[in-house]
Amino acid sequence: MKKYINDLTVCSNRRLSDDYFILGLTSSNALPEMLPGQFAEIKVDNNPNVFLRRPISIHDVDYAKNVLYMLVKIVGQGTQTLSTLKVNETVNLVYPLGNTFNMDGVTNVILAGGGCGIAPMLYLARHLHQKHIKATILLGGRTMIDILEAKEFKKYGDVFISTDDGSMGEKGFITNNSIMKKLSSFQRLYCCGPLPMMKVFAAIAKQQQVDCEVSLENTMACGIGACLCCVAETDKGNKCVCTEGPVFNINQLKWQI
């Protein structure tokens, strides 16, 4: 897929909570095709302490309105600065980057997003829905304010929720949600979130022989396979998460699970 470097215009910046916001970005040109799981490298201006671009996953694309949505968690100075972007300001993106989820050969799947790992799952759910693949969605977080956009997800499938403190959905870790008892009824598990969470999902999926794809969030510099900083260990050696990921089948990864 062709990659672009473009200035996009902020058309919305919706604060979801202290930690999360959704940027809406538009352009006078038609946005290029983007796939679920892909991401953009966003340049952070006006902060001398931020040098590198920030990789942010594509949350959703509304081609009718020509708007790209990015759900961002504030984790440091880069994302903090991005959170202050105002409508009509421009921001420079290198995008779309990375691969996508495998949506072939399945009719019934489950998506699991923990915390900010929810971000790429909405666009995946939209694509699965368009392909008439039945999607069940599992969202998890520490508390109810970490459960983002649950209403949006309901458009595309049944939604199950876990919070560590029980403030929303079932109490406990997302990996212990009751829907996981039925994991073997699904043909594939897609997941994104903190590494320990993904490893638990991967271990359960492997044990129950359910195909499983994970989206990794390694720190990176260039985003286009040049710097070789973001590598994951795979069965075929070190692979760039930015170009050969971020989505990997767990069978490719050298995880001790």
- Residue 107: both structure tokens together: 């009719």
Q: Report the C-alpha gap between 57 and 72 in whole angstroms.
A: 8
Q: Which residue bears the tokens 């492997």?
A: 206
> Is residue 194 close enough to count as binding other proteins by CB under 8 A?
no
| Bond before 246 cis per omega within 30 degrees | yes
Q: Which two tokens stand for residue 19?
A: 């930690």
User: Among residues 220, 247, 250, 253, which is the contact residue for other proteins, using CB under 8 A?
Assistant: 220
Applying CB under 8 A, the span of 41-49, 115-123, 161-169, 200-208 interacting with other proteins comes to: 41-49
- Taking the complex as a whole, how short is the minimal distance between the CB of residue 38 and other proteins, in angstroms? 14
Among 51, 86, 235, 256, binds other proteins (CB under 8 A): 51
Are 154 and 76 in contact, with CB atoms under 8 Å apart?
Answer: no
Among 10, 11, 16, 52, interactor with other proteins by CB under 8 A: 52
CB of 43 to other proteins, least distance (A): 7
Binding mask 224-253 for other proteins (x = CB under 8 A): xxxxxxxxxx---xx---------------
Long-range (24+ apart) CB contacts under 8 A made by 192-196 are 192/57, 192/112, 192/113, 192/114, 192/117, 192/118, 192/119, 192/120, 192/121, 192/217, 193/112, 193/113, 193/114, 193/115, 193/116, 193/117, 193/118, 193/140, 194/114, 194/115, 194/117
Interaction between residue 2 and other proteins (CB under 8 A): yes
Torsion angle of C-alpha atoms 229, 240, 21, 142, degrees rounded to 10: -90
Nearer to other proteins, 76 or 166 (CB): 76
Choose the stretch contacting other proteins; rule: CB under 8 A; options: 50-58, 165-173, 175-183, 247-255: 50-58
Q: Which residue has tokens 């495998």?
A: 102
Site map (CB under 8 A) of other proteins, residues 5-24, x = contact: x-------------------
**Least spacing, CB of residue 2 vs other proteins, in Å:** 5
Stretch in the footprint of other proteins (CB under 8 A) among 3-11, 58-66, 137-145, 193-201:
3-11
> Which residues, 6 or more positions from 27, have their beta carbon under 8 angstroms from its beta carbon?
6, 8, 9, 66
The stretch near other proteins (CB under 8 A) out of 14-22, 46-54, 161-169, 188-196 is 46-54
In angstroms, how far is CA 169 from the centroid of its own chain? 21
Site size for other proteins (CB under 8 A): 30
Q: Does 53 bind other proteins (CB under 8 A)?
A: yes
Interaction site with other proteins (CB under 8 A): 2-5, 43, 48-53, 94, 218-233, 237-238
